[in-house]
Amino acid sequence: MLTRGYGAGIQQLAPLPVFVTGATGIVGSAVVHHLLERGERVVAGIRSERDAPAVAAGATTRRFDFSDQPDEIAESLAGCDRLFLMRPPPIEDVRTYLFPVIDAAMRVGVTQIVFLSLQGVQQNKGTPHYAVEQYLREVNAPFTFLRPNFFMQNLSTTYRDGIRDRDEIYIPAGRALTAFIDARDIGAVAAAVFTSPGHLGKAYTLNGEQSLGYKKVAHILSEVLGRTITYPRPSESEYLERLAAQGAPPDYIEVQRMIYRVVRWNISAFPNRKVRKLTGGPATTFREFAERERAVWMPSPTGTAGA
């Protein structure tokens, strides 16, 4: 909070806004929501005015694109003192597209950059997230790293159709366990670290408080949806062959191969209470998530697949 002295008294000035990248996405929208709940001002970066209706009411929208020139990026960030930074999935070349955003943030005087990284990044030096973390350290940026586990939303987005249309979770996770996290909880954590002291230079691994195998996930979904959802436990080769048959590009297939090898090593299995510690409330359970999102897995009333 900025302060200004006036004689014997001190007047508090309203905090400057937080600039949120990815503001219309699963995590970014949750960050916007929780910041607004805390009374913060928010500037949501959007690529065009067509995206504005997807931004929560109460946030200001401002044009922003990772491909903009450095001066344009600095203009977008001007007047904001904190930045929520996330890497759009299509962007692999972070040196070209994310490093200039960090440079611009430093140039306009941003006092905290909360970067959405990923769990285990410190052991996975080939990821774009690792390169961004290292650059933030190199330029002495005022960073906070959030390193979440697998999103519960993967099952309501990426794997939605398989559950909705074929009643199956078709992924090569074997018997591994995963401490899934709700993206809304990540948003709550981001808002908390933006609005309380002591988080600069910190890295937080964010897991749920339960460790579940996909057989258990399928069982919970079956109970919530009122029909049997199965987990056929495909092999890696079966899963990758299905992706190829569906037209997935080779680089996506390779990423999927690496992701689920990590899962089968149980690196993502361990729950923690970091969400509870940072926000004051427990992490969302998978059953709570499934009940909240139930509609996305339900067939349309006409019996055809929904949108």
pLDDT cut 70: percent of the chain above it:
93
Strands (E) located in 159-247: 177-178, 202-206, 212-213
Q: What tens digit of pLDDT does each residue of 139-188 get?
A: 999 999 999 999 999 999 999 999 999 999 999 999 999 999 999 999 99
Task: Inform me whether the pLDDT recorded for 60 exceeds 80.
Answer: yes
Residue 100 is predicted with a pLDDT of 97
**Cα–Cα distance for residue pair 42/76, rounded to 1 Å:** 13
Q: What average pLDDT does the structure give for the chain?
A: 91
- Give the residue-averaged pLDDT of 247-271: 87
What is the distance between the alpha carbons of residues 206 and 180, in angstroms, rounded to a whole number? 9
Give me the count of residues in the chain.
307
pLDDT above 60: residue 110: yes
**pLDDT tens, 185-213?**
999 999 999 999 999 999 999 999 999 99
Does residue 121 register a pLDDT over 50? Answer: yes
**86-122 exposure pattern, b = at least 16 Cβ within 10 A, e = fewer:** bbeeeeeebeebbbbbbebbbebebebbbbbbbbbbe
Q: What is the pLDDT of residue 10?
A: 42
Q: What is the pLDDT of residue 302?
A: 60
Residues 143 and 204: beta-carbon distance below 8 Å: no
Q: What integer pLDDT is reported at residue 5 of this predicted model?
A: 33
| Confidence grade of residue 4 (pLDDT, cut at 50, 70, 90) | very low
The answer to whether the CB of 164 falls within 8 A of the CB of 296 is yes
Report the percent of the chain where pLDDT is more than 90.
Answer: 80
Domains, the chain, with CATH or none: 3-148 (3.40.50.720), 152-180+209-269+281-307 (3.90.25.10)
The confidence score (pLDDT) of residue 301 equals: 67
